[in-house]
Amino acid sequence: MAAKGATSSGGAKDGTSDSSSSSKKNSKKPKYSRFTQQELPACKPILTPGWVITTFIVVGIIFIPIGFASLFASEWVVEIVDRYDEDCVPHNYTYNKLAYIQNSETNKTCMKRLIVPKQMKSPVYIYYQLDNFYQNHRRYVKSRSDKQLRSRASERDTSSCKPEAVRGNNYPIVPCGLIAWSLFNDTYGFSVKNKALEVSKKNIAWKSDREHKFGSDVYPKNFQSGGLIGGAKLNASIPLSEQEDLIVWMRTAALPTFRKLYGKIETDLEANDEITVVIQNNYNIYSFGGKKSLVLSTTSWIGGKNDFLGVAYLTVGGLCLFLAISFIFLYVIMPRPLGDPSYLSWNRGQVNIWSKTVRHSFVLMKEIIFGKKAGNHMLAS
Amino acid sequence: MGTVQLWPLITPVNPASTWGPLIFIFFVSATKEAWDDYNRYISDKKANEKEVWVVRQGIRKLVRAQNIQVGNILWIQENDELPCDLVLLGTSDPQGVCYIETAALDGETDLKTRIIPPVCMGIDYELLHKIKGVIECPGPDRDIRRFDANLRLFPPFLDNDLCPLTIKNTILQSCYLRNTEWACGVAVYTGNETKLGMCRGIPKPKLTAVDAVIDKLTGAIFVFQIVVVIVLGIAGNVWKDTEARRQWYVHYPMEGPWFELLVIPLRFELLCSIMIPISIKVSLDLVKSLYAKFIDWDYKMIDQETGTPSHAANTAISEDLGQVEYILTDKTGTLTENKMIFRRCCINGIFYGSESGDALKDVELVDAVSSGSADVVRFLTVMAICNTVIPMKSKTGDILYKAQSQDEDALVRAAAQLHLVFFNKNANILEITFHASTIQYEVLETLEFTSDRKKMSVIVKDCQNGRIHLFSKGADEAILPDAYSGQKTRVFVEAVEQYTQLGLRTLCLACRELNEDEYREWSFLFKEASSNLVDREWRIAEVCQMLEHDLEILGVTAIEDRLQDGVPETIETLRKAGINFWMLTGDKQNTAIQIALSCNFISPDPKGQLLSIDGKTEAEVHRSLERVLLTMRITTTEPKDVAFVIDGWALEIALKYYRNAFTELAILTRTAICCRVTPSQKAQLVELLKSCEYRTLAIGDGGNDVRMIQQADIGVGISGREGLQAARAADYSIGKFRFLKRLILVHGRYSYNRTAFLSQYSFYKSLLLCFIQIFFSFISGVSGTSLFNSFSLMAYNVFYTSIPVLVSVLDKDLSEETVMQHPQILFYCQAGRLLNPSTFAGWFGRSLFHAIVVFVISINAYAYEKSEMEEVSMVALSGCIWLQAFVVTWETNSFTILQHIAIWGNLAAFYIINLILSALPSSGMHTIMFRLCRQPSYWTTVFLMVAAGMGPILALKYFRYTYRPSKINILQQAERMGGPILSIASIEPQPRSLEKDVSSLSITQPKNRNPVYEPLLSDSPNTRRSLGSGKPFDLFQSQSRLSPSYSSNCKDN
């Protein structure tokens, strides 16, 4: 090595360095790892017809049964929807519903009869449905104070509650804010064959809300005591954590049409039973053209009656199968070798006439495909 | 934006959702900047704290370099680097000469002599400490070849006239003192005001083409955002007045504040502010520095000879590497190794080294040397002593040669290897040994080389017999006409021709014996001419010519300036990739053309055609330019490789008076050779190409390339033999020219692809969320409610979506080998096919489609009793997260383990984070995620979104991939199926060896010495010759050119 070093110093003069001189400077070299050399082992899948067609078939095969299952579940749910906002206004007020609802003197009681179409197994859920009611309006949705609801100590934490924050100058409203203020105040009484149905109002709100969001030491204060009355009043001797109607109401809905749980009927309802509902029609939806409905519904694994998921699953599954089949069809009539170098444009001189005819037939096919694709988009929207 | 958000009236979400990411982004960028600054500070400090000897009050002291002041006297030791510009006062040499290496300054590696001003001659060492005087000099400028100043010394020193100073009396900053024990001088310029410092200029921050596109897209999105805000703002106000006032529960006051009309638009502005992803800046910064790191780390770009790794000094412009359209390259040291090697010679009509390609190994020559053939010995003697080389004994006993010219160095060394060793030069006595006998020559005169004379001579006296010889060497056109009348020079002409065809640099050696009287007579004339003040150079040349006649031509030497390894292949590959090459060199036209030929730069006739632009006057240049332009326009339709060659003088005129014509020419041509150009002309050419909106890359190795490197969009420096100056000024430094291929095709291409994906993806994900918010506003009374809570909005950009996309820096669409085999694929990057408004429109459409899918499915599946705000929000967010994970998967071409971890781990992390948040009673989404995960309908909804969102995209992608594949797709398929790629590889022209190629060339055109063909002449069939093994010429960019006329062209030949 020493002898070699000597010659290499002479050689370095000529500029011809050899391995010994390069090995000396190895310290400058960066560390070697597969990451630094971008040589991590990688799997490089490509879209072979086999893969793509299989994927579509598998998705189709999985989705269609799920679609049917959801659809059946949704069908299995028995639901009675009864809109009462129109019917519950006396005829003399038909053209002045607002006056009717705002007049505290008028009789708000209203009787409705509902026929049970199919047997409804208990529990039967009672919902009220409001339409065109924007619980998600920004002004509304923000107007609450979670801190105040949670603990008595934060009673004065009402800054976010405007315009329903304080009564007078210095008396905080508990619960404050527009949401609580506008609490729904229609009530329903049910009876079947002149026998009152017991409506359970317990456990209609989320357990977590009762336990964590609404304090058991927070009592309503100064609520609905101002000049402008919004919705329901609250019993000031019951802590918020037990005011379940309020808790349900305070879970704001994301859509302008929503249902909120009113209570549960713990007995089965038989088919063709006639239910008499006594409605106290107090809540004002007339001023903005809203709707009120009473909903009785059973439930299934998928929730209430909602065909959307089932139909969507069936459509997507069907489309996947359709795509798979048309890709198979395409593949059969127009097999196309992957990675054919003759399609590289810089070798295009070599593309022969045969492949040009294929290319032509392809343009025709493309139109078919694109037509289908457009349909696909329409489904999604 | 953030400030507006602090106003609670209008803010739709918690301010933290904007401020959080913003602070994070500032933090990341600030850290990066701070790190860069720190590194710069360290290197500055190093340079400033170097200690030098400075005279202070007559005493020499060690002073830090930063404390040197103008007027200080500095002492420099051998091999020291100059800290500032000096005017020499004294050196260790009694003649007042010192040698410096200016590699860092002008890129020339040979030693240059510098001499002290005549007035300082003879001042002794001690007095130099006390010397006092005045130097009048101009203010600092950037011309490193001029220094016009005056020196006047004060008593007790000579106090006569002003002594003129020139650049010969100075040593400039960053030169090295060599072969001189010490030198001292006065600092004239210091710090950044040195000639070098002025040259350096301030590098402008470079913006890549990709950045520009991203900026434009950002602008477009901003406009879109404003439109959305205005439309929604108006809609919101209308809805408020028509609907919301009737909705008693919203409790709108009848009289609002004056700014009420603005509140809703501003709210929407805040909601839509996520449309422009602020995280894109951070993501891009991060991935860009990773690209740079990949370059630094690349083992395949380490110069094995010196162990120097490549380095990316500018971390921000890697994508541009993939979009290069023009490469402007220096020749010497960049394409060639700048290492001259004696290859062949022709002595008295006998060719040596023709078979083996190395005369030193030619048995015939070795035999002739050992038998002491008189011709050969004389030839070797001229090789050894007709030069200005200084031999030095090293410690180990080897003889080192210090030569101003690399050619002379090569000749002397070759002679030494043929046993004629020039081993000592003592004043005027030269000593050489030949077969153990020492011969001494006394140098009587040296007739120096000038570029006009193109030759140099020495007059020596043989100390043994007292005979006087004139030894000359020089270019063939300078020497051959001076042969004595009887000599047949034909064989030498042929030799020169043959060697030139091989790309070798030739020199003719000649000698003549002078008689005493002739010499004495001439010597008188020469001295007179030398002391002449007017036209001295011209007079000397005239006098020299009086002696240099009737020469006996001894032979021709051929020196090879070897091309660096892999240069022809690199150039061929890059040219195939559609990159145009310009060679800018300070060298002679012929040499430049030869090198250009040998490294595939230009093709020999008939495939290629080289047009020359020359002329000394405006008119001549104009005529020439017009003619070339005409030819160029005609030949654009032909598959011909037309190049032009222009010299510095013509270029000056062309750029000054005919800029438009020249610009047009520059656009038309793919190849150009510019010879004899100055550093500033190089920079001008870069500027010209840049002004035509081309992405330019300048590559060079010497200080003379620095301006070009800094001017170009991308500057690449070769950290080679000419010092590190170019490498320091450059954005990238590489060890060898051939790494350029990898730098562009691998690193540049991947960087571009990755950035293209990453930036568009960033927009996609932001738009996705934003569209959902916009749709939601239509069902929330256009009041600007945010569907998503503050935390989700913040985390969406910063955590949920940024990590998977960051690992796209590991994505490789094609393997490196495939790219190397099909460099044409670079076209996709050059043309910006992967990031442009139309690809962006695709992403925009995709995000719109996905937003519709997510929104429609979530509000329908979670309707009625399930339409709880937090739940719907979480369902929609889950849909977005799932879709984006699948989009990244779909767009990833190669999955490493890291990608899997990032994509699926991120999805898991989304659930973990949200489950944790759901466990916190104080958070808004308390228990939401637990409830959702227990509901079968949540999972069915999410899978429905994925299938509905990705199905059409997969179908479309598959259809395109199989039936409308891009070139990239085809290569991907070919690569991954194995098989066919090999067949393409075999079509590829094999890398040719220089020798083979050139020899075939020299056979087909032995007579055609000058490869500059007159453009119009060469169109006539006579001058066209078939190359025999005509390879199809690949021009990717010019698909249109590959017309049927091509084949007919071939047949004609």
Q: What would the pLDDT profile of B374-420 be if each residue is shown by its tens digit?
A: 888 888 888 888 887 878 777 777 787 877 677 788 888 888 888 88
Q: Which of B528, B547, B398, B410 is nearest to B470 (CA)?
A: B547
Task: Count CB atoms within 10 A of the CB of residue B227.
Answer: 10
* pLDDT of B221: 92
CB contact under 8 A, A309 and B941: yes
Determine the pLDDT at residue B1006: 33
What confidence score (pLDDT) does residue A362 get? 46
In a domain, A255, yes or no: yes
Measured between beta carbons, the chain A residues lying within 8 angstroms of B403 are none
Sorting pLDDT into bands at 50, 70 and 90, what band is B134?
confident
**What local confidence, expressed as pLDDT, does residue B998 receive?**
37
Report if residue A216 sits inside a domain. Answer: yes
Half-sphere exposure of B24 (CA within 13 A, CB side): 18
**Inter-chain contact B721–A15, Cβ cutoff 8 Å?**
yes
CB contact under 8 A, B248 and A230: yes
Highest mean pLDDT among A10-24, B532-546, B856-870, B966-980: B856-870
- Kindly state whether residues A108 and A157 are assigned to the same domain: yes
- Of A204-218, B50-64, B922-936, the one with minimum mean pLDDT is B50-64
Is the backbone peptide bond immediately before A123 cis, with ω within 30 degrees of 0? yes
Element (H, E) at A110: strand A109-115
More confident residue, B382 or A23: B382
Tell me whether residue A113 is in a domain. Answer: yes
Q: Give the domain-ending residue among A244, A274, A298.
A: A298
Q: Give the structural domain span for A228.
A: 78-298
Verify that A101 and A167 share a domain, yes or no. yes
- pLDDT category of residue B1010 using cuts at 50, 70 and 90: very low
Q: How confident is the model at residue A84 (pLDDT cuts 50, 70, 90)?
A: very high
Q: Is B705 annotated as a binding residue?
A: yes
pLDDT at residue B281 above 90? no
Shared domain for A193 and A318, answered yes or no, is no
- Is it the case that residue A347 has pLDDT exceeding 60? no
pLDDT reported for residue A12: 34
* pLDDT of res. B136: 81
Does residue A114 share a domain with residue A59? Answer: no
Most confident of A136-140, A206-210, B300-304, B941-945: B941-945
Rg of chain B (C-alpha set): 37
A-chain CB neighbours of B863 within 8 Å are: 255, 257, 306, 308
Q: Which amino acid, one-letter code, is at B53?
A: W
Q: Residue B699 is which amino acid? A: I
Touching check for A196 and chain B: CB below 8 Å? Answer: no
Cα four-point dihedral sign B1038, B1039, B1045, B1046: positive
pLDDT surpasses 50 at B437: yes
Most trustworthy range by pLDDT among A140-149, B923-932, B937-946 = B937-946
Does the annotation list B585 as a binding residue?
A: yes
Task: Give the whole-angstrom CA distance, residue B154 versus residue B151.
Answer: 10
Give the model's pLDDT for residue A13. 35
Choose one of A235, A270, A298: the last residue of a domain: A298
- For residue A356, tell me if it sits in a domain: no
- Compute the half-sphere exposure of residue B94: CA atoms within 13 Å on the CB side of its CA: 1
Q: What is the pLDDT of residue B484?
A: 85
Q: Which residues lie closer than 8 Å to B944 by C-beta, 6 or more apart?
A: A309, A312, A313, A316, B857, B861
Chain A hits for B959, Cβ within 8 Å? 366, 369
CA–CA distances in Å: residue B245 to residues A288, B241, B253, B526, B923: 9, 6, 8, 109, 32
For residue B985, name the pLDDT band (cuts at 50, 70, 90).
very low
A148 and A276 in a common domain: yes
Residue A123 lies in a domain: yes
Contact (Cβ atoms closer than 8 angstroms) between residue A136 and residue A253: yes
Which pLDDT tens digit goes with each residue over B304-344? 877 788 888 888 888 888 889 999 998 877 888 777 888 88
Mean pLDDT lowest among B73-77, B95-99, B620-624: B95-99
Cα separation of B922 and A153, whole Å?
A: 15
Considering the domain architecture, whether residues A172 and A187 belong to the same structural domain is answered as yes
pLDDT single digits (tens) B1030-1045: 333 333 333 333 333 3
- What is the number of other CB atoms lying within 10 angstroms of the CB of residue B817? 12
Other CB atoms within 10 A of residue B122 CB: 12
Question: Residues A140, A84: one domain?
Answer: yes
Minimal CA–CA distance to B550: which of B522, B516, B513, B517? B513
Q: Is residue A220 domain-shared with residue A262, that is, in the same domain? A: yes
**Per-residue pLDDT at A344:** 66
End-to-end CA separation in angstroms for chain B:
70
State yes or no: B721 annotated in a binding site.
Answer: no
Q: Let me know: does B91 contact B113? Beta carbons within 8 Å.
A: no
Is A310 within the bounds of a domain? yes
Answer yes or no: is A33 within a domain.
no
What integer pLDDT is reported at residue B849 of this predicted model?
96
Give yes or no for A360 touching B (CB within 8 A).
no
Structural domain tally of chain A?
A: 2
Interface test with B, best of A37, A138, A141 (most B CBs within 10 A): A138
Q: What is the pLDDT of residue A25?
A: 40
pLDDT tens sequence across B204-238: 677 788 888 898 999 999 999 999 999 999 999 89
Top pLDDT among A66 and B14 is at A66
Least confident segment among A278-287, A301-310, B572-581, B596-605: B596-605
Helix ranges, chain A (H): 2-14, 19-24, 49-76, 97-102, 138-141, 146-150, 178-181, 207-208, 244-250, 308-333, 353-380
Helix-, strand-, coil-residue percentages of chain B, each rounded to 5: 50, 20, 30
Of the two residues B1050 and A78, the one the predictor is more confident about is A78
Task: Give the lowest-confidence range in A236-250, B723-737, B862-876, B978-992.
Answer: B978-992
By Cβ distance, the residue of B864, B897, B940 closest to A309 is: B940
Quote the mean pLDDT of chain B.
79
What is the value of pTM for the model shown? 0.78
Q: With cut-offs at 50, 70 and 90, classify the pLDDT of residue B873.
A: very high
Question: Is A172 within the bounds of a domain?
Answer: yes
Structure confidence at residue B492 (pLDDT): 87
Q: Does A106 touch chain B (CB under 8 A)?
A: no
pLDDT bucket at B1016, cuts 50 / 70 / 90: very low
* Same-domain status, A82 and A70: no
Q: What is residue A69's predicted lDDT score, i.e. its pLDDT?
A: 94
Give the mean model confidence (pLDDT) for residues B1015-1024.
32
pLDDT confidence tier of residue B980, bands split at 50, 70 and 90: very low
At A352 the pLDDT is 39
Residue whose entry in the numeric block shows the structure tokens 């060298």: B587
On whether B330 is known to bind a ligand per the annotation, the reply is yes
Give the pLDDT score at B145: 65
Confidence band (pLDDT; 50, 70, 90) for B157? low
Percentage of chain B modeled with pLDDT above 70:
84
Nearest Cα to Cα of residue B665 among B1010, B1046, B1015, B1021: B1015
Residue B567: pLDDT band (50, 70, 90) is confident
Interface membership of A59 toward B (CB under 8 Å): yes
Q: Is the pLDDT of residue B971 over 50?
A: yes
A241 and A194, same domain (yes or no): yes
Q: What is the ipTM of this complex?
A: 0.85
Residue type at B314? N
Instruction: Give the residue with greater pLDDT, B976 vs A21.
Output: B976
Is the separation of the CB atoms in B470 and B493 below 8 Å? Answer: no
When CB atoms are compared, the residue of A208, A230, A348 closest to B927 is A208
The answer on A313 and A223 residing in a single domain is no
CA distances from A370 to A323, A360, A362, B152, B775 (A): 12, 16, 12, 89, 27
Least CB–CB distance from B857: residue in A181, A312, A348: A312
Residues A65 and A204 in one domain: no
| CB-CB neighbors (< 8 A) of A136 in chain B | 776, 779-781, 785, 869
Cis preceding linkage at A163, omega within 30: yes
Last residue of a domain, one of A278, A298, A318: A298
B587 is in an annotated binding site: yes
Of B298, B856, B967, nearest to A37 by CB-CB distance is: B298
